[in-house]
Amino acid sequence: MSIENSTFALAGMYQSAKLVRDIARKGLIDQEPFEASLNSILKIDASSIEDVYGQLSGLKTGLYTLSQQLGSGTQRTLEITHYVLGMMILERKLMKKNEMLDKIQTGIEATKAKTDTLALSDPEIIKDLANLYVDTLSKFNFRIKVNGERRFLENPNNAEKIRALLFAGIRSGVLWRQMGGNRLHLIFSRKKMVKIAQAYL
C-alpha cells in the first residue's frame, strides 16, 4: 500500500466531484475523464490502479483537481471538498452493509455484461449505474446535496450522469481506503500527495 496508489484513488474521488460540479454548474462534461470514472465502477477485480481507471491519463482531471484543492496558495472550491467528504462518509456507511454490497456487485456485473455490445458512455449504461445508486447508496440517511443551476439539475440525462459519478466517487473511496488512505492523510500527507499528483501531470 503506497502513498502513490492512495493518491491516485483520492484523485478518482476529486475527478468525480469536479465532473459533478461541471454538470451541475455548466451542463457540460469532459468525455475522457467521465469514461475513466465510469470504468472504475465496472472494474471489480482490477489488477492495478491503472486497470481501474483504464490508464492514468484518464485521471488527469482528478490529479489536477487534487493538486488545486490540497495545494497551498491555490484557489479551493468548497463544493468539490463537500462532495469528496460526502463520498467518504457514504463509503464508510456502505462498508458496514454486506447486503447492500452484494446488491451493488450483482448490479455492476449485470451492467458490465451489457458493455460487450454497448459503449461505456451509452445512455443505457449510465442509466443502469444511476438506478443502482438510487436503489442502494441513496437509501442512507446521509445524502450528498448537489448544488447548481436548476435547468441543468432538472435535465434527466444530467441527473443520471451525476448519480453515476457520485457512485464512481464512492468506488474510488473504497479503493482509497483499501490503499491505506484515511482522513489523517488529508492533513499530514497533503504536500506529499500534491507532489505526486504534479509529478504525474
Q: What is the pLDDT of residues 22-80, one digit of tens each?
A: 999 999 999 999 999 999 999 887 778 888 887 788 999 999 999 999 988 767 899 99
The span from the CA of 92 to the CA of 99, in Å, is 14
Residue 138 neighbours by CB under 8 Å, 6+ apart: 163
The tens digit of pLDDT for each residue in 87-133 reads: 999 999 999 999 999 999 999 999 999 999 999 999 999 999 999 99
> Domains in the chain and their CATH numbers?
3-200 (1.10.3890.10)
Distance CA(147)–CA(185), nearest Å, equals 27
Residue 177 CB partners (closer than 8 Å, separation 6+): 91, 95
Gyration radius of the chain over CA positions: 16
How far, rounded to the nearest angstrom, does the alpha carbon of residue 178 sit from its chain's CA centroid? Answer: 15
pLDDT average, residue stretch 174-182: 91
DSSP string, 95-106: TT-HHHHHHHHH
Cα–Cα distance for residue pair 49/123, rounded to 1 Å:
26
pLDDT at site 51: 83
pLDDT tier at 1, thresholds 50, 70, 90: low
**What is the predicted pLDDT for the residue at 2?**
84
All three cell numbers of 102:
452484494
The whole-number pLDDT of residue 46 equals 75
pLDDT at residue 122 in the model: 96
Q: Considering Cα of 44, then 47, then 51, then 56, what sign does the dihedral take?
A: positive
User: What's the pLDDT score for residue 36?
Assistant: 94
More confident residue, 159 or 188: 159
What is the model's pLDDT at position 131?
A: 98
* DSSP of 17-57: HHHHHHHHHHS---HHHHHHHHHHHH-SS-SSHHHHHSSGG
- Decide if pLDDT at 147 tops 80: yes
pLDDT at residue 182, rounded to an integer? 85
